Every structure is written in structure tokens, then in C-alpha cells.
Structure 1
Amino acid sequence: MPEQKEAFVALVTCFNEDETINYDATRAQVRRQIEAGNNIMCAGTNGDFSALTFDEKVRLCGEVVDEVAGKAKVIVNAGMPATYETKLLAREFDRIGVDGIAVITPFFIACTQDGLIRHFTSVADAVETPIYLYDIPARTQNHIEPETARVLAAHGNIAGIKDSGGAQDTLEAYMAVGRDRDDFDVYSGPDQLVHWALTHGAKGCISGLGNVLPDVLAQIVSCVNAGDEAGAAAAQETYAAFRTDLYKLGFPPALVKRALYLRDPSVGASRQPALLPSPEQDAEIDAILKKYGR
């Protein structure tokens, strides 16, 4: 039987008007994703992780795991600029019990490839939960070169990588590492590459846009798993077209959150200093949602 592919949604973190976390609303978003058939990544880029405190991340992870209650997989991002704090967070998530700990490359601190190897190795040594490298150079200015990923893949507790770089050639290079090792899985981050990645060697995807279109994301994956290439391609076409229309308006995570907010205000706005939406932008987002029957 072919390997079953899987989708994770990089879940939004919901906020109250005073910018405290709305854990009840966040739990509701977890249930919505599980009902669609998706797994959960929390405290990632779409979850405003850089705006959360240490204690909030720990509680958020616990709330998500409790709500999931074994009905889906949970990956949580522990990455911080310093290896020291990353390990502290990872140990808390390890204690709570998750399926994987993603570690975004350090941001603000410029790293050599040797520095990245030391960083990820130290975190992987500190916990028992499998570690997933998380590459998103546009946000962190640090990039995991494919050969660095190959070195790290040899670590017994580094189980894969999430590629959010957006370059198909880099994703292909990561998947070449995965083809050489049956213990290193590749997850695609770019929403426009979900179908292509799943049919070219990726284990799954981790998508921010799935917050708004959870059913379409789940359909791409379920069709691939069922061998329905036409169905997967059609769902991907809808997903990519929505992405193009929405993301041309600005910063993707903020637009995903706002699109969700316009249909469910309980998710709240992002913490400041995130860009505040305008009535004109809201009207454009609303038109896009209606165009796609949302």
C-alpha cells in the first residue's frame, strides 16, 4: 500500500480584544480542522509565535493537545533565536506530549551552516520527541542548505524538515535527502506546491491557507491518497487560485487571519504591531471569500 500523505494546518492563535489569548476560540479552530481531516501545527508563523510569551506557548500547546485528544497529530514550533531558550521550550513540549517538535531556524542571529548543525543537534539531543527542521529564510534570514539537512538527517532524533522557502528546487533537494533515508520526512509549506510535493516524494504539507480552506486542503491530500489525480489537481487549482488572489494584498499570515476573522470574529486580530486592516482591504478580502463560496 502506498505511503499515506498527511496535511497539517499551521493553526492561528486566537486573541481577545485586549490581546490576551482566547484559548476557547483556539480550541474551536482545532475542532474545525479535525472535522475537516487535518492535523495541527501550533505556535508557528501563522500562529503568531513570535508575539507569544514562553508561558503562553506552553499553555497553548497543552490546550491544543488536550483538545485534539488523540484524534489528530500535533506538531508545535519551539524555535527561538537562542539555542538555550529553544531547548527550554522543547523540553516543555516534550513533557506535554506531542507528535513532533518543529524548530524554526534562529532569527535575528546570523548563523553559519556549522552553527545551524550545532543548534539543531543540541535541541534534538535534549528531548525524546522527534525534531523537525523548519526552514523559512524569508522570515529568519537563515537558510538550511540541503547538504546541511543531509548531515542533520543522520541524527537519530531528527525526523524531517518543513520547507517554507517557496523554491521548488530546494524542496526537490530536501526530498532527495528523504529518498535516501526512510527516517527523514519532508513537509511542504508553500500552498501552491501541495499537490506537486505530495506526488514527488513529500510525506505531507503544513499549510497556513488551510485555516481558511480546510476542506480544500484535506481534499487535495485525500484525493492523492485515493489515487484520484484529477480530483487532487482540481482541488489544488482552487487552492492556488485563492492563494494568488488573497496574498497579492499583503503579508500572507496577516491576510489568512483577517480572512478568517471576517467569517468568524472570535479568532480576533493579531497582536500589535501587526498591520491593522483597513475597510478597503476588508472589502477586497470579503470579495475574494465570496468568489470562492466562503
Structure 2
Amino acid sequence: MSKKAFVALVTCFNDDETINYAATRAQVRRQVAAGNNIMCAGTNGDFSALTYDEKVQLTEEVVDEVGGKVDVIVNAGMPATFETLKLAREFDRIGVTGIAVITPFFIACTQDGLIRHFSTVADAVQTPVYLYDIPARTQNHIEPETARALSAHGNIAGIKDSGGAKETLEAYLAVGKSVEGFEVYSGPDHLVFWSLQNGAAGCISGLGNAMPDVLSGILNAFNSGDIAEAERQQAIYTAFRTDLYALGFPPALVKRALYLTDPSVGASRQPALLPDREQDEKIAVILKRYGLMAA
């Protein structure tokens, strides 16, 4: 089965901080043209800054724009199971490929609490549910044994690992190897190729917003058996990631890098990164180095 790349799509904003749906649709078309699938309302989509109604409309617009050409996963995860459930039911109605559920944040959870949370959501929808682990942001971590317990649920289809630790990804991949139908998607941009080699179903990448063709290049080369080309594309992706993320918070920098090549994406909602001329100049140097901006 061929492996898939999803881009954790940015949400585009107008100057008054309302969502620019037309610009967001343009980003969808750009990713579809590159051959990437879409994840919306994720970390790179500023999901924590969006209202409930906006998430529903955003998903409707993205699904409409995609028109069945690629897969769409949307993140429903919120601190309380109650709101997560409400969102998941809306996404189920809209008709997405998968519903990602980020671990609750702000509320400290036991592993048993996480099992109840994810199971409750998965019980309530027809759409396959994907666990979403990003402990650096949520302070809640899905232990590999918890992922294994949840993999037995008939409607939990896999996990997105954005922890960044290779050991955790290896442990999730071990669950995937032993449980048929449990897919592991890697989040760290520097581990795309490695994870594909080690049994991942694909990746969900934020950096793909700024470098869509290199991301699809890794996947296309891997799927066609051209390992040397996949490695070459991964090396470019990793180097770009290292240079860009050295400047600060990754999602903010991805959005800013994209903004400098296409201002229609807008800035993020406050209190996210404000435009900073000195930082923009450093980002521009990196974009030129990788041929993403005219020198």
C-alpha cells in the first residue's frame, strides 16, 4: 500500500483576523497540485485560536475545495470530551476521511482518562479516528501501551506522533506492526523518510506548507522504490527545517515563511508571532537559499 503525505494546512487570515476562506482554498489547491493530502485545524492551522463555528465552516470549505481528489483529516481535539464530541459529530456529518483527536490540553489526564476520552469520541462517529500526540504542547502524552489498548477499538484507525522522540515513534510503530489496521503517521519533519522505512503509513507535516514539492518528492520516490532520491529529498527537507526552526516557534515560522512568498495567507491571530522585520529578513535569506524565493 502506498504511503501518504498530509500537510497540516495553515489557516489564512485577513488583516482584521477573520478567516480568509478564499486564500485558504488557494492553499488547498496548491497542496493538491503537489500531490499532498490535507489535515486542517491542526497545530499549524492555528486550531486553538479558532472558534467552534469557524472550525466547522473551515472543514466544510476545505472538503468542498478538495472535491474528493485527496484525503482530508481534521482535528477535533479540545480540552473537554464534551466539545470534542460535538466537533467530531459535525465533521462526521461533513464527510472527512479521518478525524484526528489531539490529547486534551490544560486538563491533566491519566492514561485511563485518555482511554475514556478517545473511546467516547470513536464510539460516536462513523469516520475513523486518529489519536494525536503532541505532549510538548498539551502536557498530556499517550503512552505506547495506551495506544495499544486503544488500537483494539474498531473505529480507532491510528495515531499521529508529533512528540519528536524517535523512541516513542518506534514504540508506536511496534504497535502498528502488531495490530492490523492501526496506522502510524509521523509528525517530525526530519523523520519522514526514516518513519516510512520503519513501517509508518505516512506523515503529517507542517513544513510542507512552505515546501510542498519536496515533501511529495520524498513520498513519491519512496513509493516508486527510488530510495536514493527519497533520501536526497529528505536531506533538503531536514536542512530547511533545521535552518528555519532555529529562528523560533515552528508553526509561527512556517506561516511567516509562507507569508513572505504569498502574503494572502496573512499573519496568525494574536498573541502569536507579530511580524518582525529583522526576523523576516533572516527567513528570506533561508527561502532564497532553498530556491523558494527569488534571489
TM over 0.5: yes
- The answer for the alignment partner of 1:212 in structure 2 is 210
In 2, Cα distance between equivalents of 1:6 and 1:120: 24
Deviations 1:143-184 (A, max 9, x none): 000000000000000000000000011001001111011210
In 2, Cα distance between equivalents of 1:50 and 1:109: 15
In 1, Cα distance between equivalents of 2:38 and 2:253: 19
> What TM-score, normalized by structure 1, do the two folds share?
0.99
Unaligned runs of 5+ in 2: none
In 2, Cα distance between equivalents of 1:69 and 1:142: 35
In 2, Cα distance between equivalents of 1:13 and 1:277: 17
In 1, Cα distance between equivalents of 2:179 and 2:136: 28
Deviations 1:81-134 (A, max 9, x none): 000000000000000000000000000000000000000000001101000000
> What TM-score, normalized by structure 2, do the two folds share?
0.99
- The answer for the alignment partner of 1:228 in structure 2 is 226
Q: Which one of the candidate residues 277, 283, 286 is aligned to 1:285? A: 283
SS at structure 2 position matched to 1:205: strand
- The answer for the alignment partner of 2:12 in structure 1 is 14
In 2, Cα distance between equivalents of 1:89 and 1:161: 19
Residue 52 of structure 1 deviates from its aligned partner by: 0.2
Structure 1 residue identity aligned to 2:263: P
Structure 2 residue identity aligned to 1:30: V
Matched, 1:257 2:255: yes
Unaligned runs of 5+ in 1: none
In 1, Cα distance between equivalents of 2:180 and 2:192: 21
In 1, Cα distance between equivalents of 2:17 and 2:275: 16
Q: How does 1:135-284 map to 2 (within 5 A)?
A: 135-284=133-282
SS at structure 2 position matched to 1:75: strand
Residue 277 of structure 1 deviates from its aligned partner by: 2.6
Residue 216 of structure 1 deviates from its aligned partner by: 0.1
> What percent of counterpart residues are identical?
77
Structure 2 residue identity aligned to 1:176: A
Q: Which one of the candidate residues 87, 90, 104 is aligned to 2:88? A: 90
Structure 1 residue identity aligned to 2:196: L
Deviations 1:217-272 (A, max 9, x none): 00000000011010000000000000000000000000000000000000000000
Runs of 4 or more off by more than 6 Å in structure 1?
A: none
SS at structure 2 position matched to 1:111: coil
In 1, Cα distance between equivalents of 2:221 and 2:262: 28
In 2, Cα distance between equivalents of 1:292 and 1:221: 19
